[in-house]
Amino acid sequence: MAKPVEFWFEFASTYSYLAAARVEAACADAGVPLVWRPFLLGPVFAAQGMTTSPFNMFPVKGAYMWTDMARCCADLGLPFRKPGSFPRGSLLAARVAAAHAEAPWVGAFVRAVYHANFAEDRDIADDAVIAAIIDEIGVDPDAAVAAATAPAGKAALRAATEDAMARGIFGAPSFLVDGALFWGNDRMQQALAHARAA
Protein backbone atom coordinates (compact mmCIF):
# COMPACT_ATOMS: atom_id res chain seq x y z
CA MET A 1 0.00 0.00 0.00
CA ALA A 2 1.53 3.31 -1.09
CA LYS A 3 2.18 5.91 1.59
CA PRO A 4 0.34 9.23 1.30
CA VAL A 5 2.08 12.26 -0.18
CA GLU A 6 1.62 15.40 1.93
CA PHE A 7 1.77 18.38 -0.41
CA TRP A 8 2.83 21.51 1.49
CA PHE A 9 2.19 24.74 -0.39
CA GLU A 10 1.97 28.54 -0.03
CA PHE A 11 -0.28 30.47 -2.41
CA ALA A 12 2.29 33.27 -2.88
CA SER A 13 4.98 30.79 -3.97
CA THR A 14 5.75 30.69 -7.67
CA TYR A 15 7.12 27.17 -7.83
CA SER A 16 4.19 25.90 -5.76
CA TYR A 17 1.99 26.86 -8.74
CA LEU A 18 3.89 24.41 -10.98
CA ALA A 19 3.36 21.57 -8.50
CA ALA A 20 -0.19 22.47 -7.40
CA ALA A 21 -1.41 22.45 -10.98
CA ARG A 22 -0.27 18.84 -11.42
CA VAL A 23 -0.08 17.10 -8.06
CA GLU A 24 -3.63 15.74 -7.83
CA ALA A 25 -3.48 14.13 -11.27
CA ALA A 26 0.07 12.89 -10.67
CA CYS A 27 -0.91 11.22 -7.40
CA ALA A 28 -3.96 9.65 -9.03
CA ASP A 29 -1.80 8.30 -11.88
CA ALA A 30 0.69 6.90 -9.36
CA GLY A 31 -2.00 5.39 -7.14
CA VAL A 32 -0.77 7.46 -4.20
CA PRO A 33 -3.08 9.21 -1.70
CA LEU A 34 -2.71 13.01 -1.59
CA VAL A 35 -2.99 15.21 1.52
CA TRP A 36 -3.34 18.96 0.92
CA ARG A 37 -1.23 20.90 3.47
CA PRO A 38 -1.53 24.68 3.02
CA PHE A 39 0.75 26.78 5.24
CA LEU A 40 2.28 30.26 5.43
CA LEU A 41 5.89 30.79 4.36
CA GLY A 42 6.26 34.15 6.14
CA PRO A 43 6.80 32.70 9.64
CA VAL A 44 9.03 29.98 8.18
CA PHE A 45 11.26 32.53 6.44
CA ALA A 46 11.25 34.73 9.57
CA ALA A 47 12.53 31.81 11.64
CA GLN A 48 15.48 31.62 9.21
CA GLY A 49 16.15 35.36 9.63
CA MET A 50 14.52 36.43 6.36
CA THR A 51 12.03 39.29 6.19
CA THR A 52 10.75 38.66 2.67
CA SER A 53 10.99 36.14 -0.15
CA PRO A 54 14.58 35.08 -0.95
CA PHE A 55 13.72 36.13 -4.51
CA ASN A 56 13.32 39.69 -3.28
CA MET A 57 16.33 39.49 -0.91
CA PHE A 58 18.62 38.40 -3.74
CA PRO A 59 17.57 40.40 -6.83
CA VAL A 60 19.72 38.62 -9.40
CA LYS A 61 18.26 35.31 -8.27
CA GLY A 62 14.78 36.84 -8.34
CA ALA A 63 15.21 38.11 -11.89
CA TYR A 64 16.27 34.65 -13.01
CA MET A 65 13.33 33.05 -11.21
CA TRP A 66 10.81 34.85 -13.45
CA THR A 67 12.65 33.71 -16.58
CA ASP A 68 12.77 30.17 -15.22
CA MET A 69 9.06 30.25 -14.33
CA ALA A 70 8.13 31.30 -17.85
CA ARG A 71 10.25 28.50 -19.32
CA CYS A 72 8.97 25.83 -16.91
CA CYS A 73 5.35 26.85 -17.50
CA ALA A 74 5.92 26.61 -21.25
CA ASP A 75 7.52 23.16 -20.82
CA LEU A 76 4.57 21.99 -18.69
CA GLY A 77 1.87 23.59 -20.83
CA LEU A 78 0.74 25.89 -18.01
CA PRO A 79 -0.42 29.45 -18.63
CA PHE A 80 1.78 32.11 -17.01
CA ARG A 81 1.69 35.87 -16.58
CA LYS A 82 4.16 37.57 -14.24
CA PRO A 83 2.06 38.98 -11.38
CA GLY A 84 2.06 42.74 -10.91
CA SER A 85 2.85 42.25 -7.21
CA PHE A 86 5.03 39.61 -5.50
CA PRO A 87 4.71 38.01 -3.05
CA ARG A 88 0.96 38.52 -2.68
CA GLY A 89 -0.75 38.13 0.68
CA SER A 90 -2.22 34.67 0.94
CA LEU A 91 -3.81 34.62 4.42
CA LEU A 92 -7.48 34.19 3.52
CA ALA A 93 -6.78 31.77 0.69
CA ALA A 94 -4.61 29.66 3.00
CA ARG A 95 -7.26 29.73 5.74
CA VAL A 96 -9.90 28.57 3.28
CA ALA A 97 -7.69 25.72 2.07
CA ALA A 98 -6.73 24.72 5.63
CA ALA A 99 -10.30 24.78 6.91
CA HIS A 100 -11.54 22.77 3.94
CA ALA A 101 -8.48 20.59 3.28
CA GLU A 102 -10.63 17.46 3.09
CA ALA A 103 -13.49 18.97 1.09
CA PRO A 104 -14.01 17.41 -2.34
CA TRP A 105 -13.52 20.85 -3.91
CA VAL A 106 -10.17 21.72 -2.26
CA GLY A 107 -8.09 20.73 -5.31
CA ALA A 108 -10.19 22.86 -7.62
CA PHE A 109 -9.93 25.78 -5.19
CA VAL A 110 -6.15 25.48 -4.88
CA ARG A 111 -5.65 25.34 -8.63
CA ALA A 112 -8.02 28.28 -9.17
CA VAL A 113 -6.17 30.49 -6.68
CA TYR A 114 -2.78 29.75 -8.28
CA HIS A 115 -4.23 30.32 -11.73
CA ALA A 116 -5.65 33.67 -10.57
CA ASN A 117 -2.28 34.74 -9.12
CA PHE A 118 0.14 33.46 -11.76
CA ALA A 119 -1.88 33.21 -14.97
CA GLU A 120 -4.41 36.04 -14.62
CA ASP A 121 -2.58 38.51 -12.31
CA ARG A 122 -5.62 38.83 -10.04
CA ASP A 123 -4.98 40.09 -6.52
CA ILE A 124 -5.45 37.03 -4.31
CA ALA A 125 -4.76 39.23 -1.25
CA ASP A 126 -8.18 40.79 -1.85
CA ASP A 127 -10.93 39.00 0.08
CA ALA A 128 -13.40 39.74 -2.71
CA VAL A 129 -11.18 37.93 -5.21
CA ILE A 130 -11.05 34.85 -2.99
CA ALA A 131 -14.84 34.93 -2.59
CA ALA A 132 -15.22 35.21 -6.36
CA ILE A 133 -12.91 32.24 -6.90
CA ILE A 134 -14.91 30.11 -4.44
CA ASP A 135 -18.05 31.08 -6.29
CA GLU A 136 -16.46 30.25 -9.66
CA ILE A 137 -15.82 26.66 -8.58
CA GLY A 138 -19.45 26.27 -7.57
CA VAL A 139 -19.13 26.56 -3.77
CA ASP A 140 -20.99 28.97 -1.46
CA PRO A 141 -18.39 31.66 -0.65
CA ASP A 142 -20.13 32.98 2.46
CA ALA A 143 -20.20 29.61 4.21
CA ALA A 144 -16.68 28.65 3.11
CA VAL A 145 -15.18 31.96 4.27
CA ALA A 146 -17.13 31.90 7.55
CA ALA A 147 -15.66 28.51 8.44
CA ALA A 148 -12.18 29.62 7.39
CA THR A 149 -12.23 32.77 9.50
CA ALA A 150 -13.86 31.22 12.58
CA PRO A 151 -11.48 30.50 15.47
CA ALA A 152 -11.14 26.85 14.50
CA GLY A 153 -10.32 27.79 10.90
CA LYS A 154 -7.64 30.28 11.94
CA ALA A 155 -6.20 27.75 14.39
CA ALA A 156 -5.98 25.11 11.65
CA LEU A 157 -3.67 27.27 9.53
CA ARG A 158 -1.59 28.38 12.52
CA ALA A 159 -1.10 24.76 13.56
CA ALA A 160 -0.14 23.77 10.01
CA THR A 161 2.55 26.45 9.83
CA GLU A 162 3.97 25.38 13.19
CA ASP A 163 3.86 21.76 12.07
CA ALA A 164 5.76 22.69 8.89
CA MET A 165 8.61 24.19 10.90
CA ALA A 166 8.66 21.33 13.40
CA ARG A 167 9.07 18.89 10.53
CA GLY A 168 11.98 20.71 8.87
CA ILE A 169 10.11 22.44 6.05
CA PHE A 170 11.98 25.60 4.95
CA GLY A 171 10.37 26.46 1.60
CA ALA A 172 7.53 25.67 -0.76
CA PRO A 173 6.43 23.54 -2.36
CA SER A 174 7.52 20.66 -0.15
CA PHE A 175 6.46 17.04 -0.06
CA LEU A 176 6.52 14.88 3.05
CA VAL A 177 6.30 11.14 2.52
CA ASP A 178 6.61 8.74 5.44
CA GLY A 179 8.80 11.28 7.28
CA ALA A 180 11.04 12.04 4.29
CA LEU A 181 11.18 15.63 3.01
CA PHE A 182 11.38 16.58 -0.66
CA TRP A 183 11.71 20.27 -1.53
CA GLY A 184 10.68 21.96 -4.74
CA ASN A 185 8.60 21.34 -7.79
CA ASP A 186 11.65 19.61 -9.30
CA ARG A 187 11.36 16.86 -6.66
CA MET A 188 7.69 15.91 -7.17
CA GLN A 189 8.54 12.76 -9.12
CA GLN A 190 11.12 11.73 -6.50
CA ALA A 191 8.46 12.16 -3.77
CA LEU A 192 5.96 10.05 -5.72
CA ALA A 193 8.55 7.32 -6.31
CA HIS A 194 9.30 7.31 -2.58
CA ALA A 195 5.59 6.96 -1.79
CA ARG A 196 5.25 4.00 -4.11
CA ALA A 197 8.33 2.31 -2.66
CA ALA A 198 7.67 3.10 1.04
Diameter of the chain measured on Cα atoms = 45
**Integer Cα distance of 170 and 177 in angstroms:** 16
Told to check if 190 binds a second copy by CB under 8 A, we report yes
Told to check if 171 binds a second copy by CB under 8 A, we report yes
Stretch that binds a second copy, among 99-107, 117-125, 152-160, 184-192 (CB under 8 A): 184-192
* Other Cβ atoms closer than 10 A to 33: 14
DSSP 32-54: --EEEEE--HHHHHHHTT-SS-H
* Other Cβ atoms closer than 10 A to 110: 25
Told to check if 198 binds a second copy by CB under 8 A, we report no
Q: Which residues pair with 35 in a beta bridge?
A: 6
- What backbone phi and psi angles, to 5 degrees, belong to 63? -60, -40
CB of 186 to a second copy, least distance (A): 5
Rg (CA), the chain: 16
Q: Which residues pair with 152 in a beta bridge?
A: none
Told to check if 58 binds a second copy by CB under 8 A, we report yes
Told to check if 78 binds a second copy by CB under 8 A, we report no
Q: How buried is 166 (Cβ within 10 angstroms: 0-12 exposed, 13-18 middle, 19+ buried)?
A: exposed
Pairing between β-strand 180-183 and β-strand 5-9 as defined by DSSP bridges: unpaired
- Nearer to a second copy by Cβ, of 18 and 96: the residue is 18
**Integer Cα distance of 85 and 72 in angstroms:** 20
Told to check if 181 binds a second copy by CB under 8 A, we report yes
Told to check if 170 binds a second copy by CB under 8 A, we report yes
- Nearer to a second copy by Cβ, of 136 and 162: the residue is 162
- Nearer to a second copy by Cβ, of 149 and 190: the residue is 190
CB of 163 to a second copy, least distance (A): 14
CB of 146 to a second copy, least distance (A): 36
Stretch that binds a second copy, among 13-21, 117-125, 137-145, 179-187 (CB under 8 A): 179-187
Stretch that binds a second copy, among 93-101, 116-124, 155-163, 177-185 (CB under 8 A): 177-185
- Residues making contact with a second copy (CB under 8 A): 48-49, 58, 60-61, 63-64, 67-68, 71, 75, 168, 170-171, 180-183, 186-187, 190
